[in-house]
Amino acid sequence: MLRLDECRGAVAAKYRDWAQLLVKDGFIVLFPESYGSRGFGNQCTTRNRPVRPDRERVADANASRRWLEQQPDVRADHISLLGWSNGGSSVLWTVRPQHKSDDKPDFRSAVALYPGCRRLDSTAWSTRVPTLILIGAADDVASPRIASTWWRVPRAAAARIAIVVYPGAFHDFDHPNRPLQVRTGYAFSADGSGRIHTGTNAAARTDSIKRVPQWLAR
């Protein structure tokens, strides 16, 4: 399991929680670090980011896959991608047909939780691997309009896509214990104000914790 995180280099509570859940289910989890490894800190308030989800983070994902393929406990044909927010966007860029760059075994599947889709909207996006997208209907960072966008992909690609929109859920709905809060100063928000909501949604969290391992085990 290759996990692409959201904005910060540290392994925050949400990601530790997911790692523990996935390891318990028998997965191996790798945390590649796209920002700190290049000398950058938190990118949530930065609009013009020097590390882009369609470029450096795709390269990081593919480099991590090649490294994992060499590990004795890893099945090269069973490596999947999992990402949140900006990391979710990076997942969607990585699984585009245009980004398969070698003859090695491909990613087996992908999961993107509340991915941003601003630039992907204009790319005629499709995926070469089974891809699950989970997003909250009330998300004001990564707009849930993604649900109507991706269903317009060609039928062959649509057959590989599953989208779940959780009623009433905001960004970070899967966090283990974050009370609903308002944050300001974000580089991207649905209304352009930089003001966003983030917090746990118990129903969405419970469903995602069940759904993600099932998707990865397919």
pLDDT, tens digit, 9 for 90 and up, residues 102-122: 677 899 999 999 998 777 766
Q: DSSP code of 163?
A: E
Query: What's residue 1's pLDDT?
Result: 52
**What does DSSP say about strands 161-166 and 131-136: parallel, antiparallel, or unpaired?**
parallel
Query: What's residue 121's pLDDT?
Result: 66
Query: What's residue 8's pLDDT?
Result: 47
Higher local confidence (pLDDT), 18 or 143: 18
Query: What's residue 153's pLDDT?
Result: 61
Taking the C-alpha atoms of residue 25 and residue 19, their distance in angstroms, rounded to an integer, is 10
- Chain centroid to Cα 66, Å, comes to 19
pTM: 0.88
Highest mean pLDDT among 56-60, 98-102, 115-119, 197-201: 197-201
Instruction: Write the single-letter amino acid at 200.
Output: T
Taking the C-alpha atoms of residue 213 and residue 218, their distance in angstroms, rounded to an integer, is 9
Note whether 171 and 140 are within 8 A (CB).
yes
Using the structure block, give the residue that is written with the tokens 């990391």.
Answer: 87
Query: What's residue 20's pLDDT?
Result: 95
CATH superfamily of 2-216: Alpha/Beta hydrolase fold, catalytic domain (3.40.50.1820)
Q: Is the pLDDT of residue 37 over 60?
A: yes
- pLDDT, the chain, mean: 85
Q: DSSP code of 178?
A: -
Q: Is the pLDDT of residue 4 over 70?
A: no
- Chain centroid to Cα 217, Å, comes to 17
Note whether 93 and 120 are within 8 A (CB).
yes
DSSP secondary structure letters along 135-146:
EETT-SSS-TTH
Q: Where are the domains of the chain?
A: 2-216
Note whether 161 and 150 are within 8 A (CB).
yes
Q: Is the pLDDT of residue 150 over 80?
A: no
What is the C-alpha radius of gyration for the chain, rounded to an integer number of angstroms? 16
